[in-house]
Structure 1
Amino acid sequence: MSSNTLSAVLEKQIRHLCLTDFPCGDGSWRKTKDSPDAAETEETDSLLDLLSCPHSPWRHDVSWSPQAPALRKLAVLSPDGLHTDFIYNYFTTLHIVDKGVSVIDKGLLRFSKLKELVLSANKISEIPSENLPSTLKILELRANLLSALTSLTRPPPPHLQYLSLSSNSLGHHEDISNLTGRHWPQLVCLDLSDCEFQDQKALLSALSTLTCLKTLVLEGNPFTLAPSYPGLTVDSLPQLSCLDTSWISPEERRCFQGLAKMSDLIVDHASATVSVRRMKGIPDPSMSADENAPEFPVVTYNYFIAYEFLSHHIPVNLEADSESKFDTAHVTNDGSSDADQQSKNCEIEASKQDNGVLIVNTQETCHAAAHVSRHSTSKVTWSEFMDFSDTQKYIVSDLGGLKKFLNQGLYLRIEEEKVLSWPAASEDIPVAKPSRTVKEKKGGKGKESPIKSGSTKDKSKDKKKKSVPELVQDAPIRRSLGSVHIPLQSLVKGDHKVDILCDLGALCTETEVEATLTLEKDLGKKVKEDKKTEDKESKRRGGSGTRQKNTASSKGKGKKDREVDVHTDNSVSTQLEPVTVEFSVELEKWQSASDAHQHLLPHQTSQG
């Protein structure tokens, strides 16, 4: 596909102004003093009205430049003076947004008085500075395909005061070296938001040479997830007045005073605290128990919450009595690990989409991933309010990987663990554990096993001598009750905490699920039987039209009755209380230089 040059797009925009066509230009439609009165001529004021009237067919889009409407007026008032050079020199501001521009060519130099150039949301991968007018003061390149700044600084526009590089793949050390006062001596405002800068100290060292810099936007970069941001930036750049669209107050500057002197001790890593608190809305499993069920097996239910989070170390459990399980999957950033293992890890992550866990969609994402810790809270028995009080602290040094993880969000899952317990075989209780059917394994019900009769007889004979029999547990049967996706993008955008009440909707009990499956199975059998009966009757009676009609009506009636039955049965579950889980993720942020000193003191002591 041929490249779409900037000059070609600008020429097209200028042609759309129709500067030589009606109602602009010097044509026969213009009424002058010397011309005779004719129905085809218009007054100058009428022609101007046609340019601005909301319902006029000659009113064109001129939002791409504030000089465009003024140029059209000039084309009506004095069309003789609109030669080509005048038109190019008339423009001082150009906004070419989302026009598919991929190349900035030399044609832009014809706009010799251009001061503001906005090229956001295009497909530009390189900015050759020799093709930029030296008069530029404002340059916006947000959301393009830039991956380097070398071509822009050979040399850059000398009078540039505002530069926006937001939402580009910038963040290499070469990019940092091209953001110094030597290249941008008059730069007042710089927007680097949503880029990929990770080395905070190196970037701040370069930006400190921009003596005129007053406004800086850095949110959305990986290093802003570290505890030292924004404090280290505020103290390292005393000339700043505004950071991330917020004014820096004198009190804030006093709080972080001295933090820049501690920069040698600061390591860019993120510390995230993930908390799972109370859950409610789970139906009571004992309410669906059969009163006529045998004494054994004894069925117990436990519940826990599972999720995945990014980490480079084993998470620190902040609750002494909390039981947790971690299963860490590692994929190297440079792809140096075994290729088969990487492919396997990618397939495992991709296959978990239906289970509500972290989704890793591509091989590239797997290469960029760090350690994904799969954590489960402690198991608790059923209650109306189940308090897990589970708090985990994750230390992440791969800030780029953490940014991708937070933009993707995580899945929180509710798991149920069902355990069947049987009396242990002994000399006093010679009981052989029977083999159970699939139905008995699922619900612990079915035909009464010989364990009950044997154990009750022994109880009646040796009631005084024998205590409660020792129980042996089967392997737990686990099932996922539901999952919910938790968006975490706001943490990348500058928020410190996401505190959310996860709503998973109403959940059915295990018995209700089995009952629904049984009902659907029975309905399916009944439909097949009705169909067979109808086929036999139609063959035997020769396919009478009236009887076929009656049969069809009765069939429709039966179908309607079945639909009513299913609706009535499902109405019970819709009345259940929704299941909710209290969940939060908080990034550690230093509130002052003394706060940072308390966190860095153990590190300083260990270094000494």
Structure 2
Amino acid sequence: METEPGTVTVSKAFQEHLRQLCLHEFPCGLGSWNRTRFSPQNLKSWKGGIPKMPENVPPEEETVESLLRLVQSKKSPWAQHKDSTMEDQYLRELAIQNPLLIGDAFLFSYFTSLRVVNKGVTLIDEDLLKFLKLEELILSANHIREVDPMNLPPTLKVLELYGNEMTSIQCLCSHPPPALQHLGVGHNKLLGFLESQYITASYWPNLVSLDLGYNDLTELHYMIAGLCTLLQLRLLVLQGNPLALVPHYRGYTIDCLPQLYVLDDVTVSPEERHLFQGLSCKLGMAEEEAHLIVTVKNVTGILDSSVLDPEPTLEGPYIVYSYYVTYNFVEDEKDIGKEKEDASNMKEVMEPTKSPLLSTMLSRESNNETETDPRLMPAPGSVLFSTIRKPWTNIIEYDYKMKHTLKDLVPLKAFLLLGTYVTIVEEKIVSWQILPTPVESPPPVKTGKGEKDKDKKEKDKNKKGKDKDKKEKDKDKKKRDTPKEFRQDPPILRVLGSQLLSLEPFLSGETLVASLCNFGTVRTAETDKLTYIRDQKAKTKKKGAKRKVKDKDKKKESMLFEEPDYQPDPLTVDVQIQLCHYKSLAEALTPPPS
């Protein structure tokens, strides 16, 4: 059968594999290194087995033992490749001991296992049927989209197609290998719930092991309905699929498949089966949604920027700093309103287009241009969430807790593969006092009258002096009572640190991702010293008396920050994300807290 140009078949990859084994080149095969052993005179006396070396061997020829050492030693330039199998090793040794046996007929009857991994194979061709005893076929990490089952040997017991480009296993069901015991199609592109109709005993009556992990399969109850017909099934892998993210996934699967021994590479214990007994009846058609709880606890090591600012004048500037933590999370349009209500201690939920965080522009010091920091932009399909803003302390305690309920599980899986960015932001607000405009006094008017006017002016002057003193007192009182007015500049945002938090462990069966994100040291000994001095002054002022600091105390304070080994605390944020999974039937039936 002719193939299209550029098509890589299994047979072509197999022939390339044989070429790399060098079965017809030194030290294998026939050549000057073993000419005497396989000469016509020596073969006449050969009665089967390995041809013996004649007594008189020329010095340029090698013995069988020396040739075998060349392919068996790991330090030899002719040693087998690290990915070679035991069959490959035995074949090379046989090509030294008796190269006359190595032919197409022998090879097609010799191989019981064929491993063609990462060779760019796109097609399983009909030449594969020439392997008369093939029981194991491993074609992982290739580019296979469809499989013609008519080209699969009927003796096949193991078929692995991991990491290919298959979108459905329907193609295998037209003529599946009758004796197949293990089917591995993980890390493909199987999508939706319709694949469940192709995983039944009508197609795979002898299936003992099935790996469907890391696809995009959904609707757990449909998938389990098909798997229930596989009475011989003992090992099952479904992790990495969106359907495995729902809280009742493991318990429901264990209760529905009593014959199962291992689920997602974890042995099903009798205790676990007892804990979930009856869950299939209670939650058979339960709504499938994932619940994740994000917790932000403490932030340490933030630089107190206020100690570096100059003292404000009467007019200003008056500067206030606050700090908060952001992270992006996948959006579920159906539940975005519910998520906002669940954030009991959250000041604002940031929308991709309406968030004040995203509309604030950060200034460049070099050329006074403005741009939005890309670290403050959520990834496509996700929303930026934020803790409340808090003033600086050495340890900022947020106690932020947010429950995310997601019904669209396929985008959730894609988001977990990418991870989330945890970012610490400093918000700087500069205010200026608005001073009243001074009122100018009118110039004195000349009247041109005599002494009487002069006396009258003198009396009026004294009277005005008294009135002026009274007005000054009233003015001071009014000034004290009148609130000060301030003009506020747009907030200035500065990203202190941003780190990618991997969420892929959730797809591998983990239920908790906890990380103390470390952004390095942003403080210095000098800034810590300034902060310490400021706090000491504040304590003294609060007590209402000036405390005289002795020379000994001053020296102690200065040495505290001048020691060579002094290291300020690193900038860290404590983040935890939990994927909710039921641990028993009782927990699954307990209604969630309102």
Cα pair 2:352 2:378 within 8 Å, conserved: no
The 5-angstrom pairing of residues 103-114 of structure 1 reads: 103-114=123-134
Alignment CA distance shift 1:390-1:26 (3 Å): closer
What is the aligned partner in structure 2 of residue 401 from structure 1? Answer: 411
Cα offset for 1:57? 4.3
Cα pair 2:140 2:161 within 8 Å, conserved: yes
What is the aligned partner in structure 1 of residue 396 from structure 2? Answer: 386
What is the aligned partner in structure 2 of residue 531 from structure 1? Answer: none
Q: Is 1:164 aligned to 2:184, yes or no?
A: yes
What is the aligned partner in structure 2 of residue 558 from structure 1? Answer: none
Moved more, 302-311 or 156-165: 302-311
588, 591, 600: which one aligns with 2:583: 591
Alignment CA distance shift 1:2-1:352 (3 Å): farther
Cα pair 1:93 1:115 within 8 Å, conserved: yes
Q: Deviations over 1:191-230 (max 9, x none)?
A: 1111111111111111111111111111111111111121
Tell me, in whole angstroms, the C-alpha distance in 2 between the residues paired with 1:353 and 1:242.
48
What is the aligned partner in structure 2 of residue 120 from structure 1? Answer: 140
Tell me, in whole angstroms, the C-alpha distance in 2 between the residues paired with 1:278 and 1:597.
33
Tell me, in whole angstroms, the C-alpha distance in 1 between the residues paired with 2:424 and 2:69.
66
Tell me, in whole angstroms, the C-alpha distance in 2 between the residues paired with 1:422 and 1:590.
55
Question: TM-score under structure 2 normalisation?
Answer: 0.74
CA RMSD across the alignment: 3.2
Tell me the amino acid that sits aligned with residue 516 of structure 2: L
Q: Is 1:480 aligned to 2:504, yes or no?
A: no
190, 197, 200: which one aligns with 2:210: 190
Tell me, in whole angstroms, the C-alpha distance in 1 between the residues paired with 2:265 and 2:69.
40
What is the aligned partner in structure 1 of residue 347 from structure 2? Answer: 323
Tell me, in whole angstroms, the C-alpha distance in 2 between the residues paired with 1:41 and 1:236.
67
What is the aligned partner in structure 1 of residue 427 from structure 2? Answer: 417
Tell me the amino acid that sits aligned with residue 487 of structure 1: S
Tell me the amino acid that sits aligned with residue 403 of structure 1: K
The 5-angstrom pairing of residues 531-570 of structure 1 reads: none
Alignment CA distance shift 1:21-1:596 (3 Å): same
Tell me, in whole angstroms, the C-alpha distance in 1 between the residues paired with 2:509 and 2:287.
20
The 5-angstrom pairing of residues 427-466 of structure 1 reads: 462-463=476-477, 466=480
Tell me the amino acid that sits aligned with residue 418 of structure 1: K
Tell me the amino acid that sits aligned with residue 7 of structure 1: S
Q: Answer with 1 or 2: which has the greater Rg.
A: 2
Tell me, in whole angstroms, the C-alpha distance in 2 between the residues paired with 1:158 and 1:601.
51
143, 151, 175: which one aligns with 1:131: 151
Tell me, in whole angstroms, the C-alpha distance in 1 between the residues paired with 2:479 and 2:293.
54
What is the aligned partner in structure 2 of residue 6 from structure 1? Answer: 10
> 4+ runs of 1 displaced by more than 6 Å?
457-460
Cα pair 1:105 1:131 within 8 Å, conserved: yes
Tell me the amino acid that sits aligned with residue 505 of structure 1: G
What is the aligned partner in structure 2 of residue 341 from structure 1? Answer: none
Cα pair 2:312 2:318 within 8 Å, conserved: no
SS of alignment partner, residue 67 of structure 1? helix
Identity, in percent, stands at: 34
Cα pair 1:62 1:69 within 8 Å, conserved: no
Cα pair 1:226 1:270 within 8 Å, conserved: yes
What is the aligned partner in structure 1 of residue 467 from structure 2? Answer: none
Alignment CA distance shift 1:589-1:353 (3 Å): farther
What is the aligned partner in structure 2 of residue 374 from structure 1? Answer: 384
Q: Is 1:213 aligned to 2:257, yes or no?
A: no
Cα pair 1:506 1:578 within 8 Å, conserved: yes
Q: Deviations over 1:259-288 (max 9, x none)?
A: 111234411111111111211222223322
Cα pair 1:265 1:600 within 8 Å, conserved: no
SS of alignment partner, residue 68 of structure 1? helix
Cα offset for 1:65? 4.0
Tell me, in whole angstroms, the C-alpha distance in 2 between the residues paired with 1:213 and 1:122.
27
Tell me the amino acid that sits aligned with residue 394 of structure 2: E
Q: Is 1:501 aligned to 2:493, yes or no?
A: no
Tell me, in whole angstroms, the C-alpha distance in 2 between the residues paired with 1:184 and 1:133.
15
SS of alignment partner, residue 122 of structure 2? coil
Q: Deviations over 1:164-205 (max 9, x none)?
A: 111000133442211111111111111111111111111111
Cα pair 1:415 1:478 within 8 Å, conserved: no
Cα offset for 1:24? 3.6
Cα offset for 1:576? 5.0
Tell me the amino acid that sits aligned with residue 424 of structure 2: I
Alignment CA distance shift 1:38-1:506 (3 Å): closer
The 5-angstrom pairing of residues 171-186 of structure 1 reads: 171-186=191-206
SS of alignment partner, residue 99 of structure 1? coil
Tell me the amino acid that sits aligned with residue 586 of structure 1: Q
SS of alignment partner, residue 355 of structure 1? helix
Moved more, 464-473 or 240-249: 464-473
Cα pair 2:217 2:243 within 8 Å, conserved: yes
Tell me the amino acid that sits aligned with residue 517 of structure 2: C
Alignment CA distance shift 1:89-1:63 (3 Å): farther
What is the aligned partner in structure 1 of residue 68 from structure 2? Answer: 48
What is the aligned partner in structure 2 of residue 333 from structure 1? Answer: none
Cα offset for 1:134? 0.7
Q: Deviations over 1:453-487 (max 9, x none)?
A: xxxx9799524883362444525513123222222
Tell me the amino acid that sits aligned with residue 485 of structure 1: L
Cα pair 2:324 2:424 within 8 Å, conserved: yes
SS of alignment partner, residue 75 of structure 1? helix
Question: TM-score under structure 1 normalisation?
Answer: 0.72
Cα offset for 1:74? 2.9
Q: Deviations over 1:372-392 (max 9, x none)?
A: 332222222222221111111
Tell me, in whole angstroms, the C-alpha distance in 2 between the residues paired with 1:268 and 1:329.
30
Q: Deviations over 1:136-180 (max 9, x none)?
A: 111111101111212212211111111111100013344221111
Cα offset for 1:594? 1.3
Cα offset for 1:405? 1.0
What is the aligned partner in structure 2 of residue 150 from structure 1? Answer: 170
Tell me, in whole angstroms, the C-alpha distance in 2 between the residues paired with 1:168 and 1:81.
40
Cα pair 2:290 2:405 within 8 Å, conserved: yes
Q: Is 1:255 aligned to 2:275, yes or no?
A: yes
Tell me the amino acid that sits aligned with residue 6 of structure 1: V
Cα offset for 1:321? 4.6
The 5-angstrom pairing of residues 215-294 of structure 1 reads: 215-291=235-311, 293-294=313-314
Tell me, in whole angstroms, the C-alpha distance in 2 between the residues paired with 1:373 and 1:458.
57
Alignment CA distance shift 1:383-1:80 (3 Å): closer
The 5-angstrom pairing of residues 28-67 of structure 1 reads: 29-32=34-37, 37-61=57-81, 63-67=83-87
Cα pair 1:417 1:476 within 8 Å, conserved: no
Alignment CA distance shift 1:286-1:42 (3 Å): closer
SS of alignment partner, residue 306 of structure 2? helix
Cα pair 1:277 1:583 within 8 Å, conserved: yes
